Amino acid sequence: MNADSILNGKCSIIDLNGGNIMGTVKIIQGDITKIKVDAIVNAANTTLLGGGGVDGAIHRAAGPQLLAECRTLHGCETGEAKITKGYLLPAQHVIHTLGPVWQGGTQREAQLLHNSYLNSLKRADENNCATVAFPSISTGVYHYPLKAAAEIALTTIHEFMRKTKVVKEVTMVCFDSATFTTYQQVEQKF
Ligand code: ADP
């Protein structure tokens, strides 16, 4: 992990099963394109052909080969997740997921956001990724309310870490300080 990319940090250890440490959940503030993990997650769009926000930053940093592989995937449904290589990124893989657009909470947004995190973690598990980093899915241009999104993200991650034998460390990479503070506050409940 590039120390320059981290402005703040907090690390919480999930300690389950009579003291055997099952995994680590970290919350940091930084740029996900700088992080050296087995897989970073991209908050992509339905075409998987790049866009703004974190999606644009990941494609810029990974180079054109990422777009070429994404063209072979034929898009992504909301809540689904697909994996590619990381190309020029420090991360080995990119897991592309499509979070829901916030429409007031009446369009199964909570279930779909849960599915985005869960399916991303399943792709990591299937591909032997022990270390995974997420951005705050759907809370940018998709306008999902931040606190509610953080609760879904961290609940889904903690539940999954209790079951997996593959994924050992999940890092939430928060780009701005409001996102970082919110995820830190929600993480205190676990
Ligand atoms: P969505 O369409 O799912 O809302 P966005 O890319 O608009 O996706 O925003 C999701 C989150 O990613 C926002 O909190 C945004 O600030 C953040 N973000 C943008 N660039 C980066 C980056 N390089 N690293 C980590 N997070 C980022």
Q: Which residue has the CA at smallest separation from atom 13 of ligand 1?
A: 140
Q: Which residue has the CA at smallest separation from atom 1 of ligand 1?
A: 138
Q: What is the pTM of this model?
A: 0.94
- What's the length of the chain? 190
pLDDT tens profile 163-188: 999 999 999 999 999 999 999 999 98
In the three-class reduction of DSSP (H, G, I as helix; E, B as strand; rest coil), residue 104 is classed as: coil
Regarding the beta carbon of 117 and ligand 1, being less than 6 Å apart is answered no
Question: For strand 20-29 and strand 8-16, is the pairing parallel, antiparallel, or unpaired?
Answer: antiparallel
As a whole number of angstroms, the distance between CA 6 and CA 187 comes to 18
pLDDT tens profile 28-55: 999 999 999 999 999 999 999 989 999 9
pLDDT tens profile 155-165: 999 999 999 99
Q: Is the ipTM of this complex over 0.95?
A: yes
Is 55 part of the annotated catalytic residue set? Answer: yes
Q: Contact 37/58 with Cβ under 8 angstroms?
A: no
Q: Contact 149/185 with Cβ under 8 angstroms?
A: no
**Catalytic-labelled residue, pool 31, 38, 55, 125:** 55
Cα→Cα distances 62→17, 34, 38, 46, 163, Å: 39, 11, 14, 19, 31
